[in-house]
Amino acid sequence: MPKEDATTKDRSTVRTLLRLWPYVRPVRARIGTAACVAVVASCLGLVIPIVLKWIVDGPVAGREPGGVWFGALVVLALGIAEAVLFGLRRWLVARPLAGVEAAMRADLYRHLQRLPIAFHDRWASGQLLSRATTDLSLIRMFLAFPMTFLFVNGVTVLVGCGVLLVQDWTLGLILLVPVVPLIVVCSLFETRYSLVARRAQDQVGDLTTVVEESVLGIRIIKGFGRHRSQAEAFGALAERLRGTELGKARLLAGIWAVITIVPELAIGAALVLGTVQVADGALSAGTLVAFLSTALALRWPVESIGFLLAMSQEAATSVERFFEVMDEAEEDPGGHRGTPAESSGGLRFEGVTFRYPDAPDDAPPVLDGVDLVVRPGETMALVGATGSGKTTLTALVPRLHEVTGGRILLDGVDVADMPRERLRELVSVAFEEPTLFSASVGENVLMGAGPAGAGEPELRRALEVAQAGFVRRLPQGDATQVGEQGLSLSGGQRQRLALARAVVGRPRFLVLDDPLSALDVHTEALVEAALRDVLRDTTALVVAHRPSTVMLADRVALLSAGRITAVGTHQELLRDSAEYAWLMSGAGTTGGAR
């Protein structure tokens, strides 16, 4: 998984933030209007010192109370107008920027569904969650505030400097002296803060991963009394994040102090010189009041530079993290590389080789030249010791992983030439470790029905095949919500629902990875009896570890060290293969391979 590296140090903040343009383009008019409104509102604040100058040099000097009251009303009206305009700016950007965040979140989720399994094997789920939540919120905050106000405050400072120079160019130059050192300090701050911000956001992802794993694994933690060690691990990560956040705070405090102190010194110097000029009669009191009021009005635009830059850096880091995922290549949809192969029907493996992308270069392949034919309508049991590659081989059929070499054919068509949507309509799978979603029992089962969908009769049939009669005893029957990961159900119940999901769509090809491992002997026998009727109408590859499951198959293939070493009936392999006989005797280690 990508972490902070040299590219983070060398990246351009502006170039990174510009990647948001496709999302911002549809609402650019609204954001531009909001920025113009904010500029007008900010510049209204610079009119107030001019009114004050008129009040001091006019009505106050001439002792005209009426003029003072009029001037006060003008100042009040300007203040109200400024507040209304800033409120209008907020209203203009609220809805469109919420839409931008929603669009980015939807794109990220959609993209995650289309990324290959190898990507999800590499990335921690907490890192992906933090990108979909925290990072996108930071991006929305940047678009709503820093992006606008870096522009607004820049325009305000330029207009304000012009006003200062017009009022008195000597005093104005004094206030412009700190500009160069402030630019240098801000540049150094930006470089250092970007590194710390990236580190903090990656650590948030790590922390999110630990929280998620602890919640999902709470039964293990409680069962083994590991709450203290988990709390210590969480505390160590939280402490590391705390240190990083304190580093960010120190940097922000430093830039804030510099940006505050340097202009204040310049204003103090201008005040002393201006007072001397008023005493000498070279400058009117009203001009000095207006000058100082203008300078004080520019304090906020100048002092805000520090935290605006900080928020911009955090947003740039969030954009970088967002596009780290979005730049990953999606699964090849297939259906465009060649023509159907000339081969018989059924399921055929021809010279299939597979190596995991993250495997060391000198590691042997998991599968090395697998040749196997499952005839149309035949059920083939796949048997092998732990680590022999059974689960990997079954995952290649629906293209959860791509073969490294060779090819897999369904009814004579290379799966690589088949659109994924079509492939996964034809092939249905059930895994040894079933996954259920936070939905009803019925919705979980009907997920396997494909685009055509299925109704109540198909649902009842699938539940009967899986011997899932327990569903009728649930509080709301098949409308009962199973909760996150289906943890409210037993392991055997979850496995039966996963099997029902695999058969509900009446698939042409069925791939079952030891789907009955969590069932008791009696339930297993009932499921097998019902499953025989389903297997008669489909071509199936079934990973088996027990003789009872093997007996469902017409033939058996023995997978050893990544190769098919024997194929035949159960009795033939018992007679001719010592390894198979050893596995079936119960002396072999059961369980799936990677």
pLDDT (0 to 100) of residue 487: 65
pLDDT (0 to 100) of residue 452: 60
In angstroms, the Cα distances linking 428 to 123, 326, 413, 467 are 26, 28, 17, 18
141 within 8 A of 311, measured Cβ to Cβ? yes
pLDDT (0 to 100) of residue 591: 41
pLDDT (0 to 100) of residue 486: 65
pLDDT (0 to 100) of residue 344: 61
pTM value? 0.75
Nearest to 406 by CA among 344, 366, 349: 349
Torsion of CA 273, 277, 283, 287, to 10 degrees: 30
Give the single-character DSSP code of 474: S
Direct distance between the N- and C-terminal alpha carbons of the chain, in angstroms, rounded to an integer: 20
Ranges for all domains in the chain classified under CATH 3.40.50.300: 347-435+507-584
Does CATH number 3.40.50.300 belong to domain 347-435+507-584?
yes
User: Is the pLDDT reported for residue 481 higher than 80?
Assistant: yes
Q: How are beta strands 539-543 and 379-383 bridged, if at all?
A: parallel
pLDDT (0 to 100) of residue 485: 64
Question: What gap in Å lies between CA 526 and CA 487, rounded to an integer?
Answer: 24
Phi, psi (rounded to 5 degrees) for 173: -65, -35
Kindly tell me the burial class for residue 429, based on how many C-beta atoms sit within 10 Å of its own C-beta (0-12, 13-18, 19 or more).
buried
Question: What gap in Å lies between CA 212 and CA 343, rounded to an integer?
Answer: 47
Ranges for all domains in the chain classified under CATH 1.20.1560.10: 6-326
Query: What token pair was written down for 475?
Result: 């509080």
Strands laid side by side in the 379-383 sheet: 427-430, 509-513, 539-543, 379-383, 555-560, 563-568
DSSP state letters, 208-261: HHHHHHHHHTHHHHHHTT-HHHHHHHHHHHHHHHHHHHHHHHHHHHHHHHHHHH
**pLDDT tens digits, one per residue of 467-480:** 888 888 888 888 88
**pLDDT tens digits, one per residue of 55-97:** 877 777 777 777 778 878 888 888 898 889 888 888 888 888 8
**pLDDT tens digits, one per residue of 431-451:** 877 788 878 888 888 888 766
Question: What gap in Å lies between CA 553 and CA 382, rounded to an integer?
Answer: 9
Q: How many CA atoms lie within 13 A of 525 on its CB side?
A: 2
pLDDT confidence tier of residue 484, bands split at 50, 70 and 90: low
Mean pLDDT of 487-501: 80
118 within 8 A of 80, measured Cβ to Cβ? no
241 within 8 A of 200, measured Cβ to Cβ? yes
Q: By mean pLDDT, which of 50-54, 264-268, 299-303, 337-341 is the weakest?
A: 337-341
Question: What gap in Å lies between CA 384 and CA 591, rounded to an integer?
Answer: 9
**pLDDT tens digits, one per residue of 260-312:** 888 888 888 888 888 888 888 777 788 888 888 888 888 888 878 877 888 88
In angstroms, the Cα distances linking 471 to 79, 442, 493, 515 are 67, 9, 9, 18
Question: What gap in Å lies between CA 339 and CA 85, rounded to an integer?
Answer: 64
Torsion of CA 431, 434, 439, 445, to 10 degrees: 50
Q: Does residue 384 sit in helix, strand or coil?
A: coil
Does CATH number 1.20.1560.10 belong to domain 6-326?
yes
Q: How high does pLDDT run on average in the chain? A: 83
**Which residues fall within 8 angstroms of residue 224, CB to CB, at 6 or more apart?**
none
Percent of the chain whose pLDDT exceeds 90: 13
pLDDT (0 to 100) of residue 589: 42
